[in-house]
Chains A and B, each alone.
Chain A
Amino acid sequence: MYKLKLDTTILSFLPILILIPLSISLFKNIHLGGIDLFSEFILSAFFPRINSNILITLLNRLSETIFIALTSWFISLVFGTICGLLSSDTTFEILKLPTLISKVIKIILIFIRSIHEVIWGLLLMQIYGINISVAIISICIPYIAINSKVINEQLENINPKIIESISNINGNNLSSLIILIWHPIINTLKNFGIYRLECALRSTTIIGLFGLGGIGTSIYLSFQSLSFRELWTYLWSLGFLIILFNVILKKLGSYFFNSKILITSLFCVLILIIFSLFYFFDFILKPLPEYYYSLNNSFSLNKNFISYDFFKLIYETILLSMTSSALAISLPPVCSLIFINRKGKTLIKGITFLFRLIPPPITILMFLMFNEPSISLAALSLGLYNASITHKLLTFNLDNIKMDQFIAINSMGVAKRIAWLYGLFIKQSKNYLVYCSYRTDILIRETAIIGIIGSVGLGWQLQESISSFALEEILIILLAYSSIVLVGEIINGKIKKNFI
């Protein structure tokens, strides 16, 4: 009798089985009503429209996007680091303060993190109206919490023996803290911080789709008016912007953290903290518009709200999260294995770039042209978007891996795909799954935005409740969301612990 052993390599491929029920469901829901429209959408990619009006709109929207993304990225990095420090038990242990404070901060941050920036945007938009500050703050709030989690994890991973040895020197507590946290923080900012800018750009685009400004708003408006050529002008420009940002930051990153620039940056950070705090308090303490109070008082919780339907929505959200996670995890290795030659790799890189570029709400709208709204369709859109991100990481890691094992397997005359599997992927599968579990945390939050557009899960109900200013309902839905995210994070945490 052989005992089945599910190692990380098999676990990376196994979720692909979800494609069987997913394909059946999608096939059942096919309609041909929008095929012409879909082919027009695809063809327009090759002929983006360029005229003076579009160029002026494009420049305005791009500068808005850059401003929102850069500001929210920088603020969230700085405050994320501070919150990461404050939520870490290590910090309080070194400073010899009660760790209860860090635990309370951690719980608050979990709640903040569990709500997607679009939801924060929609909530703040209902209260403060449409303006750039709302866009920046709605990205900053969850991003600060996400960055703080990453910083926190790095600090919690500091070897306790090193902490003990530094503490035994009996120096100033603050000096000990700085010595211990400096490198983990700088390394995290260096590796993770740069990647967050691309995320901020994508988030700016996504919240723009919901009317909060930037290029996303133009993308959504041109999609609604079926001006696909115009839409592609915006999408390609956004793609160019993302590539440009990555190139600049990679160049900057190499000497940003190890020269006099660092001191200047720290000074800028200090000014930014003071400025941001002033701005934030001014924003919060500003009197709310009168219509807000009148609407708030006229709505109360519908007694039938927590009913069978509500639990069905929770079930749908969980199902959506699980299905799209399965796709996000398994599609990249499966595609890499199938398209192993250079041409295939380039093709997959191109397709994944497009899926990263097109915001998931637009992807689902595109799919709705030939498929009925369903959980499967929402899962496909969200899964493809996230798979394109996990694929990017996988290929980056595989390109930078030591080739010795691959050479050894390949020299035996083994088939190319088997050599890839045993010589390359097997070495990377553990790290890949750990990253996927991080991605799943984010993906659960993203079900909200897909739900809004795709009419599934809690996201759809949230949109309805926000539109009708039903604050009690919103609160219940947000609590339900937080609980799902929290459970997801606990499960993922356990998985990560098993792998590391």
Chain B
Amino acid sequence: MKKFLIDLKDVSYSFQNSHILRNINLSISEGEKIAVLGQSGAGKTTLISIINGTLKQTNGNYKIFNKNHNTLKREERIKIGTIWQDLRLIEDLSAEQNVNCGLLSRKNFIFAIKNLSNLCSFKEAHKYMEICNLKKTTFNKNIKNISGGQRQRIAIARTLIQEPNILLADEPFNNLDPKLSNTIKDILISKTNTYKFKKPDTVIVSLHRLDLLDGFHRVVGMNNGEIMFNVRMENLKDYHLNKIY
């Protein structure tokens, strides 16, 4: 029997009597790049939250690294990185301090304190900020004083610096113009690695824009908490999309 990196079997999630996810069956192998499509409220964010362990399924079976998420060791949890839809940046810190937060899982408590006091090295943070097309002038700006698009890229840089094996990205192209969206998509999923950084092997991205599907291996369509289709990119047809839009 084939072992999958991520394996959801009949997973459902309910909250206050409303069914948000119903009988989700999804298996993802190492190295796959998956796009999850669906309208707002289709259940994409909940699916990502279950995969990264912040929500627990109410029914069904979910395994990651062939284990239940709550039994994962710290070293295994470090391998999962998430770009949140609401970004979850720390408002009182500068852009570079926020990016350095991605290093917290690999560094000790002294680093955490030094980062808060602005006394640690930002070399690595700057590298990832440059990868995400952020200008030097934004590096030490307070997060409150920068635009939505820049914040989006800071959140992406924070997750990439974590060097995760599995990247979960919940609408990472929000607030980005078409050109930047393509650049960021290439950074996340393409095999070319101009900047020589550790790219995530397995990527799951939820998105709305169909023009960004190019480069993904598989597309999963969701509607009303259910998977409507799960096809290889080359097999995606209009009638698939009609099921969800």
Contacts and interface: CB of A to CB of B under 8 A. Distances in A.
A495 to B, nearest CB: 16
A426 B90 contact: yes
Given A407-B54, A422-B101, A426-B92, A415 B117 contact: no
A419 B113 CA distance: 12
Given A404-B86, A413-B75, A418-B109, A7 B104 contact: no
A408 B158 CA distance: 11
Given A2-B120, A3-B118, A418-B104, A408 B109 contact: no
Nearest to B98: A422
A9 B117 CA distance: 9
B84 interface: yes
Contact of A411 (B52, B109, B113): B52
A194 interface: no
Interface in B83-110: 84, 86, 88, 90-94, 101-102, 104-105, 109
B102 A430 contact: no
B88 A412 contact: no
Q: Is the interface of A mostly helix, strand, loop or mixed?
A: helix
B93 A408 contact: no
B78 A4 contact: no
A3 to B, nearest CB: 6
Contacts of B101: 409, 422
A377 B18 CA distance: 58
A286 interface: no
B43 interface: no
A439 interface: no
Interface in A395-418: 404-405, 407-409, 411-415, 417-418
Contacts of B78: 412-413
A429 B109 CA distance: 18
A252 interface: no
Contacts of B38: none
Nearest to B119: A2
B102 A10 contact: no
B170 to A, nearest CB: 11
Nearest to B73: A413
A422 B90 CA distance: 8
Interface in A366-419: 404-405, 407-409, 411-415, 417-419
Contacts of A414: 104-105
Contacts of A417: 109
A412 B116 contact: no
A251 interface: no
B116 A10 contact: yes
A415 B108 CA distance: 8
A314 interface: no
A6 interface: yes
Nearest to A3: B118
A405 B117 contact: no
Contact of B104 (A8, A407, A422): A422
Contacts of B119: 2, 4
B80, B102, B105: residue with the most chain A Cβ atoms closer than 10 Å: B105
Contact of B54 (A7, A411, A415, A430): A411
Contacts of A422: 90, 101, 104, 112
B86 A7 contact: no
Interface in A422-469: 422, 426-427, 429-430
A5 interface: yes
A6 B52 CA distance: 33
Contacts of B79: 413
Residue picked from A7, A8, A411, most chain B C-beta under 10 Å? A411
Contact of B102 (A5, A412, A421, A427): A412
Given A8-B92, A411-B53, A411-B82, A421 B117 contact: no
A429 B53 CA distance: 27
Contact of A7 (B75, B93, B112): B93
Contacts of B75: 413
B153 interface: no
Nearest to B92: A7
A355 B86 CA distance: 41
A417 B104 CA distance: 11
A408 B120 contact: no
A409 B80 CA distance: 12
A204 to B, nearest CB: 40
B126 interface: no
A404 B104 contact: no
A9 B76 CA distance: 29
A7 B116 contact: yes
Interface string A174-196: 00000000000000000000000
Q: Which of A3, A412, A429, A430 has the most CB of B within 10 A?
A: A412
Contacts of A415: 74, 104-105, 109
B162 interface: yes
A160 B159 CA distance: 42
A409 B102 CA distance: 8
Contacts of B54: 407, 411
A10 B92 contact: no
B72 to A, nearest CB: 8
A409 to B, nearest CB: 7
21 contacts: A4-B118, A5-B94, A5-B118, A10-B117, A409-B101, A411-B53, A411-B54, A412-B81, A412-B102, A415-B109, A417-B109, A418-B112, A419-B104, A421-B112, A421-B116, A422-B104, A422-B112, A426-B93, A426-B116, A427-B90, A429-B92
Interface of A: 2-10, 404-405, 407-409, 411-415, 417-419, 421-422, 426-427, 429-430
Given A411-B54, A412-B105, 10 more contacts: A7-B92, A7-B117, A9-B92, A10-B113, A405-B90, A413-B76, A418-B109, A418-B112, A422-B90, A422-B104
Can you list the 6 inter-chain pairs with the closest CB atoms, starting with the nearest? Answer: A413-B77, A5-B118, A413-B78, A408-B88, A414-B104, A413-B105
